[in-house]
Structure 1
Amino acid sequence: MRAPINVLITQLVLLLVFVSFINAFLPGIPDNYYEEGNTVKIKTRKLSSTHNLAFDFYSMPYCKPKEIKNNVENLGEYLLGDRIHNSVYSVEFKKDVICKRLTSISSCDGKADSCVETECPSQITSDDIKNLKEKIDEDYLAQLVVDQLPFANLQGYTSCGNPPPSKEEILNQEKSTKYYRPDGYPVGCKEKIQSADGTVGFNYYLNNHFTFVLYYHVRKNGKQVIVGAEVYPTSIEHTESSCTGDKPLPDDFDRLVIDDNLKNVQYSYSIIWKESSIAWGSRFDAYVNTEENPDDYRIHWFSIINSLLIVFFLTGMVGMIMLRILRKDINLYNEKDEEDPGDETGWKLVHGDVFRTPKNSTLLALSAGAGMQVLGCLVVSLLLALVGFISPESRGSLPTVILVLFAFMGIINGYTTLRLYKMFQGKSWKTVSLLAALAFPAIPLFLFTFVNFLVWVSVHSTSALPFLSLLEIFGLWLAISVPLVVVGAFFGNRSSEIEVPVKTLQIPRQIPVQPIYMHPVISVLMGGVLPFGSVFIQSYFILSSIWLHQYYYLFGFLFVVFLILVVTSAEISVVFAYFQLCNEDYRWWWRSFLSSGSSALYLFLYSAFYYFTSLEIDTFMMTVLYFGYCSILCYFFFVLTGAVGFFCSLWFVKTIYGSIKVD
């Protein structure tokens, strides 16, 4: 009884440590209540573009606080390229600001609590002008947040020349139920011009006035919460009389041109508060409902459902065929005269070799154990997302949870690897446990570190993880994952050896010439088609959420697709293992892993197709970042699908050979 009690105590301790780790890495989003006059903090996030890497908000010639404070709350925000800082915008709850210029403030002594010590650029340099034009050419967006809500652009609103909306217009319009750009406002805009001699050029304009519209909701108990944030950027060349005192911006104004004559930029902002009926729990709906055309939105859903039905049909059909064939074969073999073994054909002939230890058995055990670690991480992550623990509103929560879970699932890796290693008659369990702890995670981790280093050294982008955050990831690996892998390996080594139903002969059986469709390369490539087909559509949405800065929230569909992926990977490996054994080829071990694992190759090819057809990336470092991260994703996908296919094939082979009479 001592061993089960020790296992139970270990599991309870790990559960407590995991819960405390999640709480430390993933703060919640409590309701923030405000009273009139309370200071509301607007924060900066980053400058982002779908064409290039992300940069710090204050890398532009903007006014900034005298003391910039880092407000990043979890590791996932760093992974997303976010750098949350305090801003210069002074906001009081339910206090409108008609128009206020931003100026340098050396000290806030004796002033209101909302005062911010500010430093504004005294002069715009030629490098600043070049930087501004490059950011406009690459469609950069400036991201601001308030009370965990991003400031969003309204659909159909142009920022190139339109005057900002008046307070009357805002109060008379309904709050948008969907946002055109939920990830920020454009740095500026450009317009094509043609000179008298036919030369084509561009005029660049900088957005330097921002109208912030903040929505609040009053609950039945009288408490007030912020439920919406919108920004209307405008380019305006301020005059001495514009934006002074209680005067709003004039209806007629010149835009601020970015050229060599630009020496100084005057920034300004307005604040409009508006009551809303939207409740706290629904305040993020407008950010995830960002499809421009509802018909296109429905088409996406119908195509997903159609793909799922096709996959369900194929897997059901293959399952019924396999069930009929196997039932007939097993009954036929068991009814044969035991004294006439010469009549045996097909998969029964290789019963003395089917469990022969494969080549590179240690590598196979390590790969299968790593795949089970990924499987456990994804199952728990998706379940947490389904119950609402992971929300798009909690910025960075998903990558944080995945990282922490992956570290804790190392115990599954160690246990599974050692069980297989013992079945392969391995003797050096300590060496293998260290390999399981160090070798598999090291491959994606060092690739990530290499890409991260290149991005940081080349362009100092926020897409590169800071050094201390990188140390946190290495800490998760070395301080949590490695010990847990060793613990799992210890229990796996103490467990009984996996039993096989038939004995292995000393002399290997000669393998006959195989048909062309059972050639290793052909069968492996064929095996990956169906598993990839089950995730094809969801791959588009996931890639879009990462590289087009869209919010992914279809966790229900994702979980269903994940289950279908697991079933499809298992079934396709079983089918190819059966065909291989029917052709008297007993080398099914690696083939069962690679048949389903090859779907990762198709996923990588699709990510390359997505890069050339859906993205407009025009910089080398962004390309390196994209394919580096996609390679890591496909690596995890490979060991996941390969392990699922391998273990189901192992169960299948044990089952059929345990159901027949063998001398």
Structure 2
Amino acid sequence: MAAAMVWWPRFLMLLCLTCKTSTFYVPGVAPINFHQNDPVEIKAVKLTSSRTQLPYEYYSLPFCQPSKITYKAENLGEVLRGDRIVNTPFQVLMNSEKKCEVLCSQSSKPVTLTVEQSRLVAERITEDYYVHLIADNLPVATRLELYSNNRDGDDKKKEKDVQFEHGYRLGFTDVNKIYLHNHLSFILYYHREDMEEDQEHTYRVVRFEVIPQSIRLEDLKTDEKSPCILPEGTNSSPQEIDPTKENQLYFTYSVHWEESDIKWASRWDTYLTMSDVQIHWFSIINSVVVVFFLSGILSMIIIRTLRKDIANYNKEDDIEDTMEESGWKLVHGDVFRPPQYPMILSSLLGSGIQLFCMILIVIFVAMLGMLSPSSRGALMTTACFLFMFMGVFGGFSAGRLYRTLKGHRWKKGAFCTATLYPGVVFGICFVLNCFIWGKHSSGAVPFPTMVALLCMWFGISLPLVYLGYYFGFRKQPYDNPVRTNQIPRQIPEQRWYMNRFVGILMAGILPFGAMFIELFFIFSAIWENQFYYLFGFLFLVFIILVVSCSQISIVMVYFQLCAEDYRWWWRNFLVSGGSAFYVLVYAIFYFVNKLDIVEFIPSLLYFGYTALMVLSFWLLTGTIGFYAAYMFVRKIYAAVKID
């Protein structure tokens, strides 16, 4: 709990900075000014791999350690992400070059890795692990220079495309041999601040790059004058790691500084255009335009059809009372009949309202730049706290709906609302966390953090849900425009296309199409350790998702009532969340085609967290569609004359 509260003073500082600057990316701390030869601390964050999805602490491998290891106080989001920020022995001074420095070596003696350590390092290299370091809150990046043919078709002329990779590779394999990157060439870029003539120059770090190299022990020369001398050109061999025996090697690094025109406010721009994350602006805009177009056509059709139905029904009442009713008017005496399991339905819808409020606020705040990737862990911390506090709105909506559905046990309903969805989430996460614990990964939530989350659940969310449920249950229930008959009418046999699963398939296409492109970026950020920053487009896509879910839900409930099937409560909730089925299909496609996961536990983690994502998305879209359909049904039955 103490670690989680670190975010609040950071948020207040963030608000102050927002008032004083006009920049878009506002990190969690103020800019730091350095003078010549001031120390620039290099910290380690974690080791990650898209193949295993299991992060590890930096010192889980036998890297050189400083005399005293100090871990940074992390917020809740950083803990849940598996970040374990710790100091390193790298000695870097502002604008001070270092050609070659040896780490953890006494009297120029090499480091000896035991057989067990060698086997662990070799295993991490074959699992394609990356090392993540930060300097002045900037993550390290590896520059990749890719060459492509000239646009004119001339193969002799190659165009250089510079991209960046998040972190640096721990090592590489070649012909069944494993090599370790034991030398790091740090390249730090600084921006010189304008100062008056009599004042000392100040510098700000604006980029942090690294060139990892593998240099064999015998090729690193050492003497009394210099700690180490790097081999020139290609006159060296890489440092091999043999997992079957002890290995001797040096851990070395060099530091190079370059002046840059990039200002501090724009220093994150480089990191937000890394490697595989290519912004398909045209595709996103195209998807939004298509969804708007289809939504407009859908709205025109349903409005014109409804006007015609209402006009005919009212005309029939005026001309001839003996005419037989047909269509959706025929079920007016049963359309508001309470469904089965009203407590569970209202509880799920209450959790959906809780999710909706949380997601809307998080995306909006992130769109303003307050939760950018530079504020590490703030997004997840904010989401956790907001979900707890939004319990009052979820409880209120669930309580009022439960009373509308003729429910009486409001205390049990409130408890169900506060525990049903969060309990499923906690149960799945606890099981997955046990497997992560078994792997000794930093992604495992520590026991004190788990206790803190339970305290937040039962100390904040549960009382707020009870409070909202109490006032919602006491409030006047929703006013339905027609009375419900005592005896339910018989439902005719339904056509094949009115099947529930067919409805889910039809209803999920349009909302999924609205978010398909954005889903790729979200999955890349979650599973491939990329930065996500398109919150402006995400907010637009979220609005389109709400509109499309509402319209599809209205169309589906209209077809169902026209087929004289009044059991629309549960069916509409399930069908409106049909896009979650397509999200599940896309997640399976992404797993097979984009990821290289073959082991059991990483696969279990992927599908476990994917199940939580699909469940949450189903609750969200199902709730949006349900309330849209409920308002629609009340509106149309209030517009016709019924005796």
TM-score (norm 1): 0.87
Query: Residue 615 of structure 2 aligns to which amino acid in structure 1?
Result: Y
Query: Residue 129 of structure 2 aligns to which amino acid in structure 1?
Result: Y
Q: Secondary structure of 1:442's partner?
A: helix
Q: Residue 307 of structure 1 aligns with which residue?
A: 287
Q: Secondary structure of 1:320's partner?
A: helix
Aligned positions of 1:358-507 closer than 5 A: 358-457=339-438, 459-507=439-487
Q: Does 1:570 align with 2:571?
A: no
CA separation in 2, counterparts of 1:24 and 1:434?
37
Shift of 1:49: 1.0
CA separation in 1, counterparts of 2:179 and 2:562?
71
Structure 1 residues 341 and 131: alpha-carbon distance in aligned structure 2, compared to 1, 3 A threshold = farther
Q: Residue 169 of structure 1 aligns with which residue?
A: none
CA separation in 1, counterparts of 2:340 and 2:216?
73
CA separation in 2, counterparts of 1:318 and 1:392?
38
Question: What is the CA RMSD across the aligned residues, in angstroms?
Answer: 2.6
CA separation in 2, counterparts of 1:331 and 1:40?
76
Q: Residue 564 of structure 2 aligns with which residue?
A: 584
CA separation in 2, counterparts of 1:445 and 1:341?
58
Structure 1 residues 254 and 242: alpha-carbon distance in aligned structure 2, compared to 1, 3 A threshold = farther
Q: Residue 3 of structure 1 aligns with which residue?
A: none
Query: Residue 98 of structure 1 aligns to which amino acid in structure 2?
Result: K
Shift of 1:156: 2.8
Q: Secondary structure of 1:412's partner?
A: helix
CA separation in 2, counterparts of 1:614 and 1:577?
37
CA separation in 1, counterparts of 2:597 and 2:127?
9
Query: Residue 645 of structure 1 aligns to which amino acid in structure 2?
Result: G
CA separation in 2, counterparts of 1:36 and 1:177?
33
Q: Residue 114 of structure 1 aligns with which residue?
A: none
Q: Does 1:620 align with 2:625?
A: no
* More displaced stretch, 643-652 vs 434-443: 434-443
Please list the CA deviations of residues 545-567 of structure 1 after superposition, one character each: whole Å capped at 9, or x if unmatched: 11111111111111111111111
Please list the CA deviations of residues 621-659 of structure 1 after superposition, one character each: whole Å capped at 9, or x if unmatched: 111111111111111101100000000000000000001
Shift of 1:258: 1.5
Aligned positions of 1:511-660 closer than 5 A: 511-660=491-640
CA separation in 2, counterparts of 1:76 and 1:437?
22
Q: Does 1:233 align with 2:212?
A: yes
CA separation in 1, counterparts of 2:161 and 2:43?
23
Contact 2:114 2:245 in 1 (8 A): no
Identity %: 41
Structure 1 residues 481 and 536: alpha-carbon distance in aligned structure 2, compared to 1, 3 A threshold = same
CA separation in 2, counterparts of 1:363 and 1:326?
32
Contact 2:115 2:246 in 1 (8 A): no
Contact 2:146 2:163 in 1 (8 A): no
Q: Does 1:191 align with 2:165?
A: no
CA separation in 2, counterparts of 1:272 and 1:643?
55
Q: How many residues align?
A: 604
Contact 2:344 2:416 in 1 (8 A): no
Q: Secondary structure of 1:551's partner?
A: coil
Shift of 1:337: 3.3
Aligned positions of 1:99-178 closer than 5 A: 99-103=100-104, 123-156=112-145
Which of the numbers 262, 276, 295 marks the counterpart of 2:260?
A: 276
Query: Residue 128 of structure 1 aligns to which amino acid in structure 2?
Result: Q
Query: Residue 427 of structure 1 aligns to which amino acid in structure 2?
Result: H
CA separation in 1, counterparts of 2:191 and 2:165?
23
Please list the CA deviations of residues 580-635 of structure 1 after superposition, one character each: whole Å capped at 9, or x if unmatched: 11111111111111111122122112101110110001221111111111111111
Shift of 1:526: 2.1
Structure 1 residues 361 and 244: alpha-carbon distance in aligned structure 2, compared to 1, 3 A threshold = farther
TM-score (norm 2): 0.89
Contact 1:242 1:250 in 2 (8 A): no
Contact 1:99 1:244 in 2 (8 A): no
Contact 1:377 1:405 in 2 (8 A): yes
Shift of 1:514: 1.4
Shift of 1:243: 7.3
CA separation in 2, counterparts of 1:350 and 1:356?
10
Q: Residue 82 of structure 1 aligns with which residue?
A: 83
* More displaced stretch, 614-623 vs 304-313: 304-313
Q: Residue 109 of structure 1 aligns with which residue?
A: none
Structure 1 residues 126 and 331: alpha-carbon distance in aligned structure 2, compared to 1, 3 A threshold = same
Structure 1 residues 20 and 585: alpha-carbon distance in aligned structure 2, compared to 1, 3 A threshold = farther
Q: Residue 18 of structure 2 aligns with which residue?
A: none
CA separation in 1, counterparts of 2:36 and 2:224?
24
Shift of 1:291: 4.5
Query: Residue 189 of structure 1 aligns to which amino acid in structure 2?
Result: F
Structure 1 residues 474 and 387: alpha-carbon distance in aligned structure 2, compared to 1, 3 A threshold = same
Q: Does 1:257 align with 2:240?
A: yes
Query: Residue 34 of structure 1 aligns to which amino acid in structure 2?
Result: F
Shift of 1:248: 4.2
Q: Residue 150 of structure 2 aligns with which residue?
A: none
Q: Residue 270 of structure 2 aligns with which residue?
A: 286
Q: Secondary structure of 2:347's partner?
A: helix
CA separation in 1, counterparts of 2:341 and 2:14?
39
Shift of 1:157: 8.7
Shift of 1:265: 2.2
Contact 1:25 1:74 in 2 (8 A): no
Contact 1:178 1:289 in 2 (8 A): no
Structure 1: which 5+ runs fail to align? 1-15, 107-119, 159-175, 193-201
CA separation in 1, counterparts of 2:217 and 2:585?
51
Contact 2:554 2:629 in 1 (8 A): yes
CA separation in 2, counterparts of 1:628 and 1:178?
36
Query: Residue 29 of structure 2 aligns to which amino acid in structure 1?
Result: I
Please list the CA deviations of residues 266-318 of structure 1 after superposition, one character each: whole Å capped at 9, or x if unmatched: 111111122211111110111111246xxx946x2222222222211111111
CA separation in 2, counterparts of 1:618 and 1:499?
55
* More displaced stretch, 592-601 vs 215-224: 215-224
CA separation in 2, counterparts of 1:413 and 1:22?
25
Structure 1 residues 87 and 243: alpha-carbon distance in aligned structure 2, compared to 1, 3 A threshold = farther
Contact 1:22 1:401 in 2 (8 A): no
Please list the CA deviations of residues 363-417 of structure 1 after superposition, one character each: whole Å capped at 9, or x if unmatched: 1111111111110001000100111111011121211111111111111110000
Query: Residue 619 of structure 1 aligns to which amino acid in structure 2?
Result: E
Q: Residue 203 of structure 1 aligns with which residue?
A: 177
CA separation in 2, counterparts of 1:45 and 1:232?
18
Query: Residue 633 of structure 1 aligns to which amino acid in structure 2?
Result: M
CA separation in 1, counterparts of 2:133 and 2:473?
53
Structure 1 residues 62 and 418: alpha-carbon distance in aligned structure 2, compared to 1, 3 A threshold = same
Please list the CA deviations of residues 390-447 of structure 1 after superposition, one character each: whole Å capped at 9, or x if unmatched: 1011121211111111111111110000010010111111111111112221111111
Contact 1:72 1:78 in 2 (8 A): no
Shift of 1:24: 11
CA separation in 1, counterparts of 2:255 and 2:265?
24
Query: Residue 227 of structure 1 aligns to which amino acid in structure 2?
Result: V
Please list the CA deviations of residues 146-173 of structure 1 after superposition, one character each: whole Å capped at 9, or x if unmatched: 1111111001399xxxxxxxxxxxxxxx
Q: Residue 58 of structure 1 aligns with which residue?
A: 59
Query: Residue 269 of structure 2 aligns to which amino acid in structure 1?
Result: D
CA separation in 2, counterparts of 1:660 and 1:203?
79
* More displaced stretch, 28-37 vs 377-386: 28-37
Q: Residue 33 of structure 1 aligns with which residue?
A: 33
Structure 1 residues 520 and 206: alpha-carbon distance in aligned structure 2, compared to 1, 3 A threshold = closer
Structure 1 residues 75 and 177: alpha-carbon distance in aligned structure 2, compared to 1, 3 A threshold = farther
Shift of 1:121: 9.0
Query: Residue 30 of structure 1 aligns to which amino acid in structure 2?
Result: A
CA separation in 1, counterparts of 2:526 and 2:362?
17
